[in-house]
Structure 1
Amino acid sequence: MIRIISDSSTMYSIVEGKSKGIDIAPLSVTINNMTYKENEEISTEEFIDIINQGHVPMSSQPAIGEVIELYNKYPNDKIINITMADGLSGTYNSACSAKTMVNNPDNIDVVNSKTLCGPHRYLVDLAVQLVNEGKSKEEILEVLKDIIETSQSYLIPNDFEYLVRGGRLSPLVGKIGSAIKLVPVMVVIEDGKRISKFTTKRTFPKAIEKITQAFLEVGVDDSYYIYISHACNEKLANTAKHLAYFIVVCVLKQVFSLTEICKMIRMQIDTFPIEQAYDYFCVELEEAVKQALVTRDFSKDTFEGKRTLQGEMTKSAAMSFANKLYLQKCIMDKIDE
């Protein structure tokens, strides 16, 4: 049997992990002169509250003895331990060291996820899914390797103060950035070993837009998963549904240029809240695809109330995409004859 082990970077507690068939080794966090096991002895909300009081946290990898205990729990099984990014934590090296201290090291593979939080959780969940599908350990490791190479993580600190506290900026630069209300964006670099500056923007939406552009440049589309970890700031996370605009871009870029798409989206969000604009597009797109591919009946009007230029543009954009799908389907059907 294949066992999946990971750590609390997945945002799973021990109990939550167990319910999904995953053994979790919690990291330890030290803050305000107290040390806690992450997700076990302190909740996320409590942790964030202490940070907001001005205290700087420090994390450390799971105790090596606990990892050894998990390995020894399955002496006759194959084990895949998927750890958070090496360099952001000592968890990977600790897991590798623990492997040399047990009687079944050849049965254990330690995977450096090169990421953390949402993407880390996805890798662990995927590994469990593949185990349940009957995949071999070698097949699972190969799939994980391919997924890891396509992962990218961005971080938008609440303000420059966090970067100053963590030693990534001088106090002077931090004060200047805060005074002119700049929004810093950090990125986990390709090897996953450290966080580096990605860009600095004047507003949060502009920061999200820059991240979106970076996704598009490397070919990210609607086959990818996107996670937003919000550190208990759900309001800001909902604003980051600006990233939902990215989904719209993925669809429309098959018909329009990126410049045209950006102009259309800006007109929409200048008129409606982002959630309303996005929901409206989804309604129009669903109806357009149905009309183009199923009913071929274009008489139904989805407009409610007064017609607007923005509404007409959304409907037309959705129909352009749907009609392109229809043409592609016709061409493929003809080829298959």
Structure 2
Amino acid sequence: MLEQAVKTEELLKVENLKKYYPIRGGVFGGITGSVKAVDDVSFTVRKGETFSLVGESGCGKSTTGMCLARLVDPSSGKIYLNNANIHEANKSALKQYRRNIQIIFQDPYSSLNPKLTIRKILSEPLLINGYGSKLEIENRVLSLLEMVGLGSQHMDRYPHEFSGGQRQRIGIARAISLNPDIIICDEPVSALDVSIQSQLLNLLKDLQEEFGLTYIFISHDLSVVEHISDRVAVMYLGKIVEMGTTKEIFESPKHPYTRALLSSVPIANPKTKLMRKRIILEGDVPSPKNPPPGCSFHTRCPFKTEICEKSIPSEFQINKEHSVSCHLVENGAIF
């Protein structure tokens, strides 16, 4: 009951988030258009849960994470952390916000400074945020390494002396060093071997249980998402098209795009594989420079109707946890 109560407490709220990148051209380099990387995204993240963003490459999930971490500034929209509006925050409050939202990057090879030892890499955020004395910082660094399965013998080594899995462990240690409210995991295991992936996923889950961490997990690997997530949001061309609990999304998907994604997940059991129909979408993902009118998925949807080509679907609430943006589901044409 305690775990259930924790996961109903709203920690982060995102309203109508947009990130447009201007396109410049012409003789004077004026703005001729924009790339709509994230287009009107809204969701909430609850304390202690793992909320996943999934979709094809280029759907805007990583850009959403960058906006939340304020590594890039959103074009518009609102982000609330613990009911505080980040866009109204002063410089001091924004520094605290960045401390409370940390990120684990996708590539363990480029996310660590090759010129610094692990001691300095993990000490730097503690020094910047005034963690404590030199001895306290030293003890904290050692404690962080032990939390992620490393030890004191690794403190004075450089990143090139570690394997990819070990480097990502160091990235995880850096992310949890300041006891953040939320950690954004931007495809943290996609560059690693499958055996190492399972080790790191189990490490993330163990740390979450021990310290009550909240994750925003970004991935295109649906088998990984199913293993680690509490709730899932499916993105397509900068928009969220379906959102719900992991069980609802994987066992009862409603949006045609979600169904197509799930049908592409490899299945080891040959008997189960024969029972499932593979959905192959025709055509390519439209360009975010010039998204189609109406439903963004209608150019590839096998069930599209005339209204799909003209009108943008609103969010339709199937139940308290499950929502979908699809005219056909809303009208009862497919379920």
| The two structures share one fold, judged by TM-score above 0.5 | no
Name the structure where strand makes up a greater proportion of residues. 2
Higher relative contact order, structure no. (Cα contacts within 8 Å, ≥ 6 residues apart):
2
Name the structure where helix makes up a greater proportion of residues. 1
Specify the TM-score bucket, using the shorter chain as the normaliser: under 0.3
State which structure, 1 or 2, has the greater radius of gyration over its C-alpha atoms: 1
